Structure 1
Amino acid sequence: MAGTRTQADAAREAVVEAALARLDLDAKTRLLSGRDMWSLPALPEIGLPSLVMSDGPIGVRGVRWTADDPSVALPSPTALAATWDPDLAHRAGVLLAQEARRKGVHVLLAPTVNLHRSPLGGRHFEAYSEDPLLTGAIGAGYVSGVQSGGVGTTVKHFVANDAETERFTVDNVVGERALRELYLAPFEHIVEHARPWGVMTAYNSVNGTTMTEHRRLVEEVLRGEWGFDGVNVSDWAAARDTAAALHGGLDIAMPGPRTVYGEALARAVRAGEVPEARVDDAVRNVLRLAARVGLLPGAEPVVTALPPETDGPALAREIARRSFVLVRNQDVLPLPPGGTVALIGGAARDARVLGGGSATVFPARTVSPLDGLTAALPEGALTYAVGADPSTELGVADRGFELRAVCRDADGRVLGTGSAPSGHIQWMGSDLPDGVTHEELHSVELTGTFTPRDTGTHTFGIKGIGAFRLVVDGTTHYDDVQRPTKDDPFISFFGAPVAHARPHLTAGVPVEVSLTYVVEHPEDAPLRVVGFTLAHQEPLRDPDELIAEAAEAARAADTAVVVVATTERVESEGFDRTDLRLPGRQDDLVRAVAAANPRTVVVVNSGSPVELPWRDEVAAVLLSWFPGQEGGAALADVLTGAEEPGGRLPTTWGSLADAPVTEVAPTDGTLVYSEGVFIGYRAWEKAGRSPSYPFGHGLGYTTWAYESAEVKGITVRVRVRNTGERAGREVVQVYLAPAEPDAGRPARWLAGFAGVSAEPGESGEAVIELSRRAFEVWDETTEAWTFVKGSYEIRLGRSIADRRLTATINV
């Protein structure tokens, strides 16, 4: 299914076999175990250098997770999916391959193609959609783009890693039909259409077996049925048992050096617990990956001519504006020329451009909405008011801080010094300042100055586990040990900061700041990590007073633009959401501004759905997702009308009370997917409920007429005309609906889509090829795909709810 082997593939395979024959057992098992956090060991006996992996998916972090080595930060995966454009996803992948090569990375740990099963999933910003076809199409574009640049991908997290609660241990019980039709489907599509060089198996179990040991899904389905011939790497620290992982089809256990492979695997082979032939299978897969990326001597890499260089910031800006979804517009956008604008919201000044957790990268710059509109509008046309801050907690110390990290041994001797562009320190494995080793490192001091921008009571705090000493302006405010509140090895990265100091400071007057951390390395830790954060919060003013000031600013302007947002404590890796509300007083702010100015535009800066209780009280609502480093510039493009908001919803937006599928918390370690194949819009339609905004919805700055539809075989041709006054792009969506309803099947489902661009008055044609799979269901009795013959309505339109034309197909 993944494609026939070419002559070049055969030649590489011969080199792989020759290299494998030269390795002894210890070398082979060593290759299957991480050397450190991000890389595999080199094998000089066959001339193989170390293969390096790095997190994605919106940028390439590299082996050093630090702002000293900046990365282009693209919009969130939900934003990329909102473009409904696999070709644009391909271009994003080409850029990321370029970034990977610049950073010495051979394999990108992306994309994430798990589904938006419940709106409470805390990491949904890092996945694409609630629909398996859209997810698969965008993922395939991304994978083909990355690999066209000679860099491998690992499609993740295989499979059913759709929530964060108890993610290390949860057993997700999924019926075979739902597993095949929904959760496996994006992986299958990508294997067939993009031939990825890797997958990453998840932490969770599926139907009683942990995914790093799931022989049926990995060996029988992924490799056997689909023909996947790439490498299978564990999620970090997911592999638990040497023999079970090897029998289950796991090739690489990451990170190192302490894993269930390496020396432990060599001992298992010698003890007769696992056959060396199975080790050879895994090593063969790793060597094939090395050959494909150009690391195995004698093997020609898959890519010998690299794509042209891509302008990263320009592409980030293009993806952002094409991802913005205009869900409501009462003739207020684009902004009229010559008018005044009141920009409101803490997130307008301190923008959130990406999600929390392992998707985080450090861009060289970020453009906030305030930055973008200041540059785009004439002098004097823009005013700004905070109104309400989305964050009710401390954030990473950054603005106004000038810090460095001083590393010392147990005697207090300085081992080395590293820069610290913010208060967040995260050194993994060998990622330490020059001259510093884990063996000698005893303490790290973040030290420097802080120059406040506001006078008042500032709050300082600590995120991390262990012994800390916090000193601000000569006063020691904390000298004790912080302990974890729950059993999660990543709590120091994803947990909430704890406040420890509240000094009164004066704007513009610098003070000395120091946070010292005594490094701990638990004996059973699978990797050595130094991670902690100096946190800070600006002085808090009376919320009612701030909202009143914002309302006055709105009243004085022609148009008010309010930016509302989630925070890292709402959307991040490591935990799920408990509600869909905007944090803080942001809902109150929107209502007050809308009451003061009927021309109120709300920009929603979140990676996944939030409730918008005021949506009918404002003139326009624009969803900007996490828009990447150029988000503010893209926002100015769209608000002023220089560009059209091009996005369509990749997932349904509605209230939590109405959402049909919400459960993310296991009971006694088990989470049952009792809804079967009914998630997302399928579930909303089955429940007979109307969401706030349906799947596929999105407005532009022009209008479209659907003129005709023609069906020949399984090819659908749709002609649309731009009936507006400016150029635009329409996303034609095809939904299949059985003529005879079947309670076991959704009422309709996405079967294809295509983009059409046209000038005013011009028409364009969308050509959409339907796949055989669109007419198939998984038969749990025969354990096979069954083609369901009969008559189907082909419903064509702008969303699942806005259908313009209907045709019939008989199969």
Structure 2
Amino acid sequence: MKYDHIIKQMTLEEKASLMSGKDFWQTQDIERLGINNIFLADGPHGIRKQAEAADHLGLNESLPATCFPTAATVANSWNTALGEKIGQYLGTEAVAQKVNVLLGPGINMKRDPLCGRNFEYFSEDPYLAGKLAAGYIKGIQSHGISACVKHFAANNQEERRMSIDTIVDERTLREIYLTGFEIAVKEGQTKTVMSAYNMLNGEYTNENIHLMQEILREEWDYDGVVVTDWGGSNDRVAGLIAGNELEMPTTAGETNQEIIQAIKTGKITEDVLDRCVDRLLDLIFTTEEVYNKPYQKEIDVASHHLVAQQVAEESIVLLKNEGNILPLKKGVKVATIGEFAKEARYQGAGSSIVNPTILDNTLDCIAQSSIENIGFEPGFERYGKKNQKKIDKACALAKEADVVLLYIGLDEATEAEGLDRQSMRIPENQRDLLDALYKVNPNIVAILSCGAAVEMPWIHKVKGLLHAYLSGQAGAKAILRVVTGEVNPSGKLAETYPIRYEDTPAYHQFPGKEVSVEYRESLYIGYRYYDTAGINVLFPFGYGLSYTSFQYSDLKVTKDGVTFTITNTGNMAGMEVAQLYVGCQSKAIFRPKKELKGFGKTFLNPGQTKTMTIAFDDKTFRYFNVKTNKWEIEQASYEIMIGASSEDIRLTNTIFIEGTGAPLPYESGTLSSYYSGKVNNVSEEEFEDLLGRKVPVSTWDRSKPLGYNDTIAQCQYAKGAFARFAFGLIVFSHWFLNKIGKRSTANIIMMSIYHMPFRGVARMTGGVVNMPMLDGILMMVNGHFFKGLRHVLKERSKMLKVAKSQ
């Protein structure tokens, strides 16, 4: 151990105290040994350091920081160097605010388009997500502080996220849900990993020995720190055994005592604790070094804002350009319509909310641009309320224009941490506006702002479609620079856009509503499913238009990789993203038709030709064999495809690869859906054949008393009238707040109360409610109101006496 000399000087109580937070955002310090506390702050796309009252929901304002485009946006750049540049700027700002650990990036897979936190994640593809994340991590950690890759692992829904049990087969877990983390750990060298809230195959991720020890520590040789998601600790001792160093936020010493008692009773040995302390001390000391010498305490706000603009420009995706309506021609009269033009939708909601240093306003930017704008009308109410007067005014303005710039998308209350979206549609009042505008002026260019895929049955009513995603504080200007042609769009989709939600692979299995969620679609998420099952999509993975054109030629394949040429055959300089896909031609093991195994982005002037090289790596031909329990290579011919998207394959060749000689992992006769790729509605029996075991019962046992890991929502079945009344009050409050237009407040009830397990009451209140008091609350819930109330009061009195004596 690195810090054995310090650990030997520490008491058992001091060692245990380091294992949970001092408060909401800081670790514990031990002054006599020179161990400082360190600060952890939210920050996937900007620093969210709260100076006043702390929370994990984005309620209280944080210190000003640059709000960069979200991960879902940056992923469309397909530029790992750009990711590293963002990381460097994030790191600079983190140091200026004296942050030691920046809680990001998030790299969970976009299993389903309705996951409420998709705006914070990169992609449906683990290779793309992992490579971008590694860039972020390198950039952040170049300043000596730590990134924190999250949420490890298989956290792909927000509903019941603190207690849902993810049921997934081992091969899918490794190939889809862990590969991005593997790249982040091995290539990014992240110093910190955040464990997810959910259970994985019956065990909380934080306590899951297979995940935390066998894979993370042993296979990937990770020697950094694991921190819980806030309030995500279930059994503190089990988490410690699994190698979790830090529980956040504080529990006012309650779980420290659990660790001490476990050592004193022989449940665990002290060296288990010592190893965790050693790793945490390394994080503390190494991330404090930057603050032991002069460091930059102020940032250049303007230059950071400009970088945010450049990132947004490279991440915007042009999805439709009928009749070359874009870029706008000079002298064209434009009507600007849409509430989002007045107040931009530029970031997500929840723990990633950033208080921007500057916020570009679309109307101000239009006034400063070459666009001949004849006026603005909001056209719709932001949060979905119908308003015919606004539609009428917008139509009157549109009649006078040559082109309508229509700003639409999803609002902040629809895409939020802690909640999943209810549909893939944009709000009805926006669709009504578009219908009305189309009747008076068909020359519509829609500017779409949202963090995930949406249905577009209205797409034939727009001639141009520019998807800005959530483009950060400088997004307004970036969008207009693309609209006017000052910037040639080069973004390509990092996720597939299905025609309708019913076409998605997890449609019948999302979200898990009660005990568990079954990943019956296995490997087939995103383009892996649509390509293999032959499902038509609206826009394929990797798709994006340009104001110029590119020609691919001269593909050469060797055992080391591929080379090919790209020529800009248009009349405008631009960047092109070339994508390497690989498909195994053997049918012995089920696989997607093709999988992304490399990519590159290059800038070309008109007429210019460049040779591109994409190397093969250890992930190009591998698959995870569940019989040998390791990565293997199947001996076969592999099709090598170079494409402008997953559907637009420009060049192909084949290569024969020697295999590792592993036994076949499956009997194809029992897994017909998986061999065909048609997995939209797999039976329970076939899924069990894939898993190799029975699936757990997915519904609550309503006959049992409620316990620590049951949710507040389950109070609807409680024996105690008090609990049922409280549940009714919660439901009514949620309905009433929605009714009066307070959707964000209504969402907080669902996020912070409705889906929270009872243990969260103790874990998230900083010691105000401890576990013995929670026992009393559960007595009340389970029908013993007065007995429970007495227990709560008695335990609270005990807690206050102990606090006074210290």
What's the TM-score once normalised by structure 2's chain length?
A: 0.78
Give the equivalent residue in structure 1 for 2:394.
Answer: 550
Letter in 2 for 1:357: G
Secondary structure at the aligned position of 1:590 is classed as helix
Of the three residues 561, 565, 579, the one matched with 1:733 is 579
In structure 2, distance between residues paired with 1:598 and 1:103: 49
| 1:31 counterpart = 2:25 | no
Distance change (3 Å), C-alpha of 1:360 and 1:79: same
| 1:279 counterpart = 2:123 | no
Give the equivalent residue in structure 1 for 2:75.
Answer: 81
Give the equivalent residue in structure 2 for 1:289.
Answer: 283
1:102-123, Cα deviation, whole Å (9 max, x unpaired): 1110001111110000111110
| 1:248 counterpart = 2:242 | yes
Of the three residues 185, 191, 195, the one matched with 2:179 is 185
CA contact (8 A) 2:237 2:258 kept: no
Secondary structure at the aligned position of 1:341 is classed as strand
CA contact (8 A) 1:756 1:765 kept: no
Give the equivalent residue in structure 2 for 1:659.
Answer: 504
- 1:720-799 equivalences in 2 (<5 Å): 720-741=566-587, 744-799=590-645
Give the C-alpha shift of residue 390 in structure 1: 3.5
In structure 1, distance between residues paired with 2:149 and 2:542: 24
In structure 2, distance between residues paired with 1:630 and 1:557: 27
- 1:430-579 equivalences in 2 (<5 Å): 543-579=387-423
CA contact (8 A) 1:354 1:360 kept: yes
Secondary structure at the aligned position of 1:774 is classed as coil
Secondary structure at the aligned position of 1:585 is classed as helix
Secondary structure at the aligned position of 1:240 is classed as coil
Give the equivalent residue in structure 2 for 1:415.
Answer: none
Distance change (3 Å), C-alpha of 1:279 and 1:201: same
Give the C-alpha shift of residue 67 in structure 1: 4.3
Letter in 1 for 2:605: E
CA contact (8 A) 1:214 1:249 kept: no
Letter in 1 for 2:325: V
1:238-265, Cα deviation, whole Å (9 max, x unpaired): 1121221111221101101436632332
- 1:114-263 equivalences in 2 (<5 Å): 114-258=108-252, 261-263=255-257
In structure 2, distance between residues paired with 1:576 and 1:366: 27
1:488-512, Cα deviation, whole Å (9 max, x unpaired): xxxxxxxxxxxxxxxxxxxxxxxxx
CA contact (8 A) 1:355 1:572 kept: yes
Of the three residues 314, 319, 326, the one matched with 1:333 is 326
| 1:620 counterpart = 2:612 | no
Identity across matched positions, percent: 33
Give the equivalent residue in structure 1 for 2:355.
Answer: 362
In structure 1, distance between residues paired with 2:571 and 2:111: 39
Give the C-alpha shift of residue 125 in structure 1: 0.4
In structure 1, distance between residues paired with 2:478 and 2:459: 23
Distance change (3 Å), C-alpha of 1:349 and 1:774: same
1:31-90, Cα deviation, whole Å (9 max, x unpaired): 111000000111112212111100010111114265462111011110011100111000
CA contact (8 A) 2:566 2:610 kept: yes
Letter in 1 for 2:504: A
| 1:51 counterpart = 2:38 | yes
| 1:322 counterpart = 2:295 | no
In structure 1, distance between residues paired with 2:254 and 2:535: 48
CA contact (8 A) 1:345 1:563 kept: yes
Give the C-alpha shift of residue 290 in structure 1: 1.6
Distance change (3 Å), C-alpha of 1:254 and 1:184: same
CA contact (8 A) 1:730 1:757 kept: yes
The RMSD of aligned alpha carbons is 2.1
Distance change (3 Å), C-alpha of 1:305 and 1:388: closer
In structure 1, distance between residues paired with 2:618 and 2:95: 38
Give the equivalent residue in structure 2 for 1:100.
Answer: 94
In structure 2, distance between residues paired with 1:789 and 1:713: 14
Letter in 2 for 1:340: K
Distance change (3 Å), C-alpha of 1:308 and 1:573: closer
Give the equivalent residue in structure 1 for 2:733.
Answer: none
Letter in 1 for 2:111: R
Give the equivalent residue in structure 1 for 2:455.
Answer: 611
Letter in 1 for 2:464: A
Give the C-alpha shift of residue 765 in structure 1: 2.1
Distance change (3 Å), C-alpha of 1:765 and 1:308: farther
In structure 1, distance between residues paired with 2:505 and 2:330: 43
Unaligned runs of 5+ in 2: 55-59, 658-806
In structure 1, distance between residues paired with 2:62 and 2:11: 40
Distance change (3 Å), C-alpha of 1:176 and 1:759: same
Give the C-alpha shift of residue 296 in structure 1: 10
Letter in 2 for 1:603: I
Compare relative contact order (CA 8 Å, sep 6+) and give the higher one, 1 or 2.
Answer: 1
CA contact (8 A) 1:711 1:809 kept: yes
CA contact (8 A) 1:82 1:648 kept: yes
Letter in 1 for 2:558: K
Of the three residues 64, 85, 103, the one matched with 1:109 is 103
Q: Which has the higher strand share?
A: 1
| 1:20 counterpart = 2:14 | no
- 1:621-640 equivalences in 2 (<5 Å): 621-640=465-484
Secondary structure at the aligned position of 2:376 is classed as strand
Distance change (3 Å), C-alpha of 1:385 and 1:668: closer
Give the C-alpha shift of residue 309 in structure 1: 7.3
In structure 1, distance between residues paired with 2:546 and 2:581: 21
CA contact (8 A) 1:230 1:285 kept: yes
CA contact (8 A) 2:96 2:299 kept: no
| 1:705 counterpart = 2:551 | yes
What's the TM-score once normalised by structure 1's chain length?
A: 0.77
Q: Which has the higher helix share?
A: 2
Letter in 2 for 1:333: L
Secondary structure at the aligned position of 1:82 is classed as helix
Distance change (3 Å), C-alpha of 1:628 and 1:55: same
CA contact (8 A) 1:93 1:142 kept: yes
Give the C-alpha shift of residue 729 in structure 1: 0.3
Letter in 1 for 2:332: G
In structure 1, distance between residues paired with 2:32 and 2:631: 47
- Bigger CA drift: 384-393 or 184-193? 384-393
CA contact (8 A) 1:241 1:260 kept: no
Give the equivalent residue in structure 2 for 1:396.
Answer: none
Distance change (3 Å), C-alpha of 1:337 and 1:107: same
Letter in 2 for 1:37: F
Give the C-alpha shift of residue 25 in structure 1: 1.1
In structure 1, distance between residues paired with 2:438 and 2:613: 43
